[in-house]
Structure formats: C-alpha cells, structure tokens
Structure 1
Amino acid sequence: MGFADDHLIPLVDTGLGNSAYLVDLGDGRALAVDASRDLRALRAAVERRGLAVAYAADTHLHADFLSGAVQLGHDTGATVLASAAGHRAFAHRGLADGDEVDLGGLTLRALATPGHTDEHLSFLLLDGDRALGVFTGGSLIVDSAARTDLLGADRTEELARAQYHSLRRLAALPDEVAVWPTHGAGSFCSAPPGAERTSTIGAQKRTNPLLAAPDEDTFVRRLVAGLGSYPAYFARLAEANRRGPAVLTSAPPLPALDAGQVRSLLAEGGQVVDVRPAADYAAGHIPGALSIPLRGQFATWLGWLLPDTAPLVFVTGDGQDLDEIVWQAAKIGYERLAGHLDGGMPAWAAAGNRQAGTAFVTADRAGDRPYVDVRQEAEFAAGHVPGAVHIELGGLAAHAGDAPEGPVVACGHGERAMTAASLLERAGRTDLVVLDGGPAEYAAAHGRQLTEGGTR
C-alpha cells in the first residue's frame, strides 16, 4: 500500500505529556500503539474513519498510565503485540528483537531498545523495504531520551548505558525515517519542554544533545543529571500493566452522594478531592479537602498525592465533566471512586456543615511574607524569587514542617499552589496565603529580579 501522511493519527494526552498513535492500515483495519486505558480519543478517531483496531502494540511496560491494549483486545479482538521479555500475564503475541508482524501491506519490525525499561521495544514501520517511521516509546524522544531510574537508583546507570546503545542503534536508521515517540513535553518520564512531539532521525542527529554526546560516559552523565522527581504512582503501574488492567464493560460510575453520606465516608477514612478552580476552592471548601483542579494534569497530581486504596469523594462545580474525572482516574488505576457531592458546596452548606476558606491574592496584595515555591526543580532553576524556600509539591506532605510561618505559597499560576495550601492546611497550617500568579508577577510587584539556579 502507499502510506500517506494522514494514515498516521497522533492522539496526544497533553496532561501526561504522552502520544498514542493510530495507524490506518488502508483496508478498514488499524494499528494502535501505546494506547492508554482512556480510549475516548482513539475510539472517536476510529469511528470517524470507519476503522476496526486489529493490532494493539505496547513499546514497554508503562509506569505513567495503564495500557489500553487489553481493553482493545477484549472490545475488538485486537492482537496485542509486546515484548516477550515483559512476561505479561495475558494473551499477547510476544516479540523479540528482529521479529516482524505482517500488517497486510505494511510490516512492523521489533527492535530491542532497552534503557527506559529492560524489555523496551521500538517498532519500525516498513512499506516493503522502505522504513517509514519508528515508534520509539521511551527510548529516543524529541531532543532527549526517557528516564532510566524507574527500576531503582541501583539500576539507573546500568539502564542509562543500555539507553546509550539503544539510541545509537536508532540513530543508524536512515535520516528520513520519522520518529514517533510516546513520551513528550510534559511527561514525567523525562522530556524537555517544547512543542514538537515527533521528529526524524536526521533532525535528532542534529539537535538531540544526548546523541551529540562524544562517548558513553558523557551520555550517561547528561541523561542522569536531567532526572527530576516523578509521581509516586509510577512505582505501581508497571506491574499492573504486566498483569493486565481489568477490562471495563462500561464507564466507571460516579454516584451522587448527599452531605451526610460524604461525612460518613470521611469518618471511615475516605478522602475528599475538590476539583473546582482554585478561586472557587479558596472561597469555601470542605475542611481537609485536597484541591486538585480538573485540568489536563489532574491525573498526575491525584496519583502523586493520594493513595489508590482510599475511597474518593469529589466536589465539583457547575459544568464540570464527571466523565473526565472518572477516566483520568481510571487511566492511572484509581478505581475506588465513591462518588461526588450532589449539589456541590451549596448543598454542603445548606446541610449546616462547616466550610473553610483560603486567602487567594494577587502579587500586589501578598504582603511581605516568606515565599514558598512548589514548582519542579527545573522550573525553579529557570527563575525564582530571591530567598524563596523551594519544596516541590510532590514532596510537600512529607516536608510540611519545613515551610516557614505565614508564607505566601506559589507555583507558576496558582493551581499547584492551591493544592499545596490544601496539603499544608491538612497538616494544621492556617497562616498562609496563595499567590494568584507566578514568580514574575511577584518579583515585579515587590521590586525584585528573578534569580536562576537550583537547590541541589
């Protein structure tokens, strides 16, 4: 078959920073690569084109989302393609280095590219003898390579050295071969910022600083030096993907709960997650609720800050999509969803329950307070308020005591700062304000210049 550009359909999850891919095989069938358990976008694309998914390929045992391959196998009869070395505990076609799959006109060739994980495969898509592109998963990504520390600090360097050889192998492909990575900007699997999510082998040889490393030791130093923190739930999902996520026969429910039921769940160890915008949470919320505004990054912070073992109750605002909550939770394995507060905060207040408030102020009203910056290390190093105390949001619950008295809590815009404030309030701190804005606004309002450099 002739392969046109529109035969490849990227499906970008900007919240997790990942791309799945749908390949139109030209005969009514399709190949899905690294699809997540949230299959809404993929199903919409399949329906638009009148396709049926015949193959579902996974490049590796994902740590940042549950794979949708098992679900596609159940729903469409798709053959699951994955590394035999992954020892997956469900029906799949196990592939080793060099194995090929006839897709009917196109061929998919497995290339062993360990580094991000031990069993990592890249998939080279061929039209006859011509290589069209390579699905690189978490090996070669745009201007970088994915992290190698997910299997423990004792394996980081070993896997970084494997990553070096994997990238050199991929770089030997013809320059015109397209590079279709899974991880991209916004992924905690270590992608640099930037708008480009795909590339070519030739472009990466020109621009990727890791491919420019003169030797293996330099490559390892550069890769390891760029590794920041990552969400706590990453430690669970690779094994969950090896076992195979449970098949869903319908969207998980999110029942309506009255205020009394919510109080009972709280008394029994449940957790309240307030998904409203930061300003709404600030105006009034259930005491002890965790603020995680519903946006693209919702799943990341849910999985980083809360266990997957506690029943979760959600407080929503007008017009917020319950399905979005459900699917963002489901794609990272959070299934104990007790329900949502029926009627929201007005119903909570009408039932005579206490509300708490949080000061949410612009930079000119923040006053002369200690400044706590909860952004990631790389963001902090790129520019921060002089004298700021830096505590990443992901580690704040364990280090709440390190926050100074009476702080202004800040991030880049205000959403993560409100989440941080809710964690500090749960730890008994009520002497804080949250910055509605970021470091640039604060510095300008207080006559300061941002400074660069990290805390390591």
Structure 2
Amino acid sequence: MGFVDDHLISLVDKGLGNSAYLVDLGDGRALAVDASRDLRALRAAADRRGLTVAYAADTHLHADFLSGAVQLAADDGATVLASAAGDRAFPHTPLADGDETDLGGLTLRALATPGHTDEHLSFLLLDGTRELGVFTGGSLIVGSAARTDLLGADRAEELARAQYHSLRRLAELPDTTEVWPTHGAGSFCSAPPGAERTTTIGDQRRANPLLAAPNEDAFVAQLLGSLGSYPAYFDRLGEANRRGPAVLTAAPALAALSPAQVRSLLGEGAHLVDVRSVVDFAQGHIPGAISIPLRDQFATWLGWLLPDDTPIVFVAAPDQDLSELTWQALKIGYERLAGHLDGGMDTWTADGGRQQSIELLPADRIAERPVLDVRQRAEHIDGHIPGAVHIELGDLNMRSGDAPEGAVVACGHGERAMTAASLLQRAGHQDLAVLDGGPADWAKATGRALEEGA
C-alpha cells in the first residue's frame, strides 16, 4: 500500500466539482486542504480514523465555496495555513513561496503558483526530500488549468500569463509526484468534463494540452478560449473568504412556516424556492416560486439566480432532506434562510392557496413549437434541436424578454429547463412547456439529427 492508500482521503463535492483532502499524519492528527464550510464528509472521515484536524490549508481565496478553515480552527484548534499575499482578516499562518511547515514527520512546502488568483499557493507534501504529491488547487488540474478571469475580464490575460509560468514550474517536479487538484470535473472554475480527479506530474506532462502549448501566447489563447460563463455568486465569495466566514455554533435548522407566515414573508419581498422534483413542480406550485430541484447542483443554481441578501422561503417534499438543503446554501454564503413551508404543498392547498402548473412534454410531442435551449454555450454548440433559441439559464433573469412566447424549454435532462420555465412564468410568460428529457431524447424520438454550432 502506498502513501495515498494509507494516508490520503479525497472528499469530492460532485455538485461544485471540487475535491478537499484529509491527510492522516499518523499520530492522531490530520491536515485538511481546501475544506468547505460544509464539513460533514470531512468530519465523518476524520471520526472513522480517530483524527483531529491540526492544520487547515487553503490554496487560494475560493470563489465557489466558503472555506471551512475558520470553522476547523474554532472547533479543533487547527492552525490555518494560507498565502501571506491573501491579506486574510483572521488568525492564520501567512506563507510565502518556499516557506515550510513541519507536520511532524512530513513537511508542507508552499509554492507560489499565481494565475487562478493572485495569491494562489500550491502545497508540496514532502517525506524528507521525497516529493509525495502536490496540492495544486486551481493551478494545474487534470487535463487543464483553472480559469483566470475571476478577478475581472480586464485581468484575465495577465493572470493567464502567470498561470503559464505556474504550470511550467509544477511540471518540473518529478514525474511520479502525485497531483491533487481542488477543481475537477463539473467545476465552473473550468475543468474538462469527465476528467479524473487526481493525476501525476508525468501524466500531465504527456497529456495536458496546455502543457503542450508551444509558447506562452499559444497557452494564453488556448486557456482564454476555453472559458465559459460562471455563477454570479463567484464575484462575492473571494472577499467573504478573505474576511473569514462566520463560525457556526450549532447544526443549522430550517424553521417550519405556516401558509400565513409564507404569505407574509413573500409580501415583504422574500424569494420562494421550490426544491421538489421537476414532475412535482410541473403538476402544481405556488405562483412566483422558482424551481431549483434539490440535487448535487442545487448550490450552483441557488447562487447563480438569487441574491444572498434577501430572505428565502423553501417548499420541499416530505421525504427531502432539509439539512442537505441548508448546508448547500450555507457553503456558498446564503445565510438568510427564512424557513420551509410546513407540510409542503398539501398544507398550502388545504389553506386555500392558489397553484400554477407547467406542462411536461415528451420529446415526440413538441411539434413545431419554438424551443428555448438554456444549457451552457459549449453544450448548445455540441448539438441542439434545430432552430432552438439559446439563452443560458444564468442569463435568463436579465433576458427573459428575449425568450419566445409559448416556448418549450430544454436542457440536458429537465432540471435546468424547469428552473428556466419557472423564471419565465414569474416574469409573465404564458403557455410554457418543458421538454421531458433533452436534445438527445428528441433526436431519438424524431429520427432527426441535432444541429451543431452556435
């Protein structure tokens, strides 16, 4: 058994496309790297091994989740390790390039690898002089490198050039060095879909197309050309992580609300989010509700579509896990969770509450109706229903007027399409329907080819 099998635990957040890491230091203590504020999986892994987190290292000021380092410091007395250049406003050990931390038998060396952010560090884990692996955060990732436009489009090229040099610095490590990135498949920080979560320096030297770029200009063009949109909340969390998230003193709970309380909150400007399935929402929902089904990607769409400074009321099905909902919201900084409708839609209708519905259409019944494709640009280009209007879901709040009336809304499976349809219905659109499935189902049902290109 090697070091990874015996000592390294990878904790994957499939919804955000990220990995955190827990390193068993062999003496009852552990190192956590890029832990999220949602520490449930990390706590479970540490408890199974009887570990206390002694060190919490962050590779950069994360934009896609709130760091759990401050919480680990409060709960476990962990020493927070982070870049001195990050100017964090809470107690931590500030590190510069080349600084080393003695973990008690192992050593953690900070490597300045700017690009994804200005203050980005990678952490090289050493056993004596032997390089075991490197936590690369948003620098070198499997098959790519993380995006460089999170500090503004005006700085994207400058940071891409920094990323070029950072990747080449990391590529100088021995081929056998393990690479443990934070961002992976599914991350809007730009990881290629389907990529493995971890790799080695040797594999990346052979297979990463960015490392194969012939020069810096080619690298920059390739990296910047791959960038798509990203969730709106990314623009807020870097600063929130610099200040430090609030410490949670108890497991969060969601208040149970009566229909009268829900109406009162909505009258005061609260948002209403329905987390039930696409089918349940289609059959009947409270007017004005936004459909964001509770699944791995819930946090992404909550943070993309709703502000964080307005109270949110939730509607859930009886069998849904309200703690999962709450943790997904808290890990991206959504604290104003007013509560959930006690008893769900049955309570609402029993109290005389009105409902709306949205038709779910199978692929063979959309006929000649206009189609609105709300997937990401790259997905649309890969293949869409011919003639479909394309507006990304993340842009729909600002572009609802561009959506065709009476549209059938489509995505890959139906969840994003129902979210889009709920936004359009709230904006006053009528006669909406949602494609039950995606473009591939339409092609199979009709025997017609999908259209490629923008």
Q: TM-score, normalised by structure 2?
A: 0.99
Structure 1 residues 4, 310: CA separation in 2 closer, same or farther (over 3 Å shift)?
closer
- Aligned partner of 2:135 in structure 1 is 135
| 2:245 alignment partner in structure 1 | 245
Once residues 31 and 273 of structure 2 are traced to their aligned partners in structure 1, the CA distance between those partners, rounded to angstroms, is 37
Contact in 2 for aligned 1:385/1:448 (Cα 8 Å): no
- Quote the residue 1:13 is aligned against: 13
Hey, what does 1:319 align to over in structure 2?
Answer: 319
**Deviations 1:323-353 (Å, cap 9, x if unpaired)?**
0011000000000000000000000000001
**In structure 2, how many angstroms separate the alpha carbons of the residues matched to 1:51 and 1:29?**
5
Output the CA distance in 2 between the equivalents of 1:318 and 1:253: 16
For the pair 1:65 / 2:57, whether they are aligned, the reply is no
CA distance in 2, matches of 1:118, 1:193: 26
Measure, in 2, the Cα distance between the counterparts of 1:95 and 1:276: 45
Question: CA offsets, 1:232-269, max 9 Å, x none?
Answer: 00000000000000000012220000000000000000
1:260-275 alignment, distance < 5 Å: 260-275=260-275
User: SS of 1:125's equivalent?
Assistant: strand
Q: CA deviation at 1:453?
A: 1.7
Please say if residues 140 and 170 of structure 1, whose CA atoms lie closer than 8 Å, have aligned partners that are also in contact: yes
- 1:368: how far off? 1.7
The CA deviation at 1:77 is 0.2
Question: In the alignment, which residue of structure 2 is the partner of 1:207?
Answer: 207
1:195 Cα deviation (Å)? 4.3
Q: Distance in 1 between matches of 2:397 and 2:90?
A: 37
Structure 1: stretches of 5+ with no match in the other structure: none
Secondary structure at the aligned position of 1:22 is classed as strand
Q: Where do residues 228-377 of structure 1 align in structure 2 (5 Å cutoff)?
A: 228-377=228-377
- Contact kept? 2:405, 2:430, Cα under 8 Å: no
1:412 positional shift: 0.2
Tell me whether 281-290 or 246-255 shows the greater mean CA deviation. 246-255
2:32 alignment partner in structure 1: 32
Cα deviation code 1:4-56 (max 9, x no counterpart): 52300000000000000000000100000000000000000000000000000
The residue matched to 2:94 in structure 1 has which SS? Answer: strand
Determine helix, strand or coil for the equivalent of 1:396: helix
SS of equivalent residue, structure 1 residue 218: helix
Does 222-231 or 244-253 show the bigger shift? 244-253
In 1: Cα distance, 2:315 partner to 2:126 partner:
49
Among all aligned residue pairs of Structure 1 and Structure 2, give the percentage whose two residues are the same amino acid: 77
| TM-aligned CA deviation for residue 447 of structure 1 | 3.6
- Does the 8 Å CA contact 1:184/1:192 hold for their aligned counterparts? yes
| 1:208 partner amino acid | N
Q: 1:99 aligned to 2:99? A: yes
8 Å Cα contact 1:409-1:434 kept in structure 2: yes
Letter of the structure 1 residue corresponding to residue 325 of structure 2: I
Are the equivalent residues in 2 in contact too, given 1:409–1:433 (CA < 8 A)? yes
The equivalent residue for 1:449 is: 449
| Residue 186 (structure 1) aligns with | 186
Give the Å deviation of 1:295: 0.2
Provide runs of 4+ in structure 1 moved above 6 Å.
none
> 2-side partners of 1:19 and 1:6: how far apart?
18
Q: Deviations over 1:284-330 (max 9, x none)?
A: 00000000000000000000000001111100002100100110000
CA–CA separation in structure 2 for the residues paired with 1:266 and 1:54: 44
Amino acid at match of 2:154: D
Report the secondary structure of 1:242's partner residue: helix
2:396 and 2:40 map into 1 onto residues whose CA distance is 33
Amino acid of the structure 1 residue aligned with 2:418: M
1:451 Cα offset (Å):
2.1
Aligned to 1:216: 216
Partner residue in 2 for 1:397: 397
What SS does the corresponding residue of 2:159 show, helix, strand or coil?
helix
Q: Size of the alignment, in residue pairs?
A: 453
Contact 1:274–1:293 (CA under 8 A) maintained in structure 2: yes
Task: Provide the secondary structure at the position in 1 that maps to 2:265.
Answer: helix
3-state SS of the aligned residue for 2:158? helix
The amino acid of 1:83's aligned partner reads S
Corresponding residue number in structure 2 for 1:416: 416
- Please tell me the residue identity of whatever aligns with 1:374: V
How far 1:406 moved relative to its partner? 1.3
Which amino acid is 1:290 matched to?
I
What is the rounded CA distance, in whole Å, between the counterparts of 1:290 and 1:451 in structure 2? Answer: 30
Q: Say if 2:318 and 2:343, in contact at 8 Å, map to a contact too.
A: no
Aligned to 1:54: 54
Q: CA deviation at 1:211?
A: 0.4
Q: Which amino acid aligns with 1:344?
A: G
Distance 1:279 1:218 in 2: 47
Q: 2:3 aligns to what SS in structure 1?
A: coil
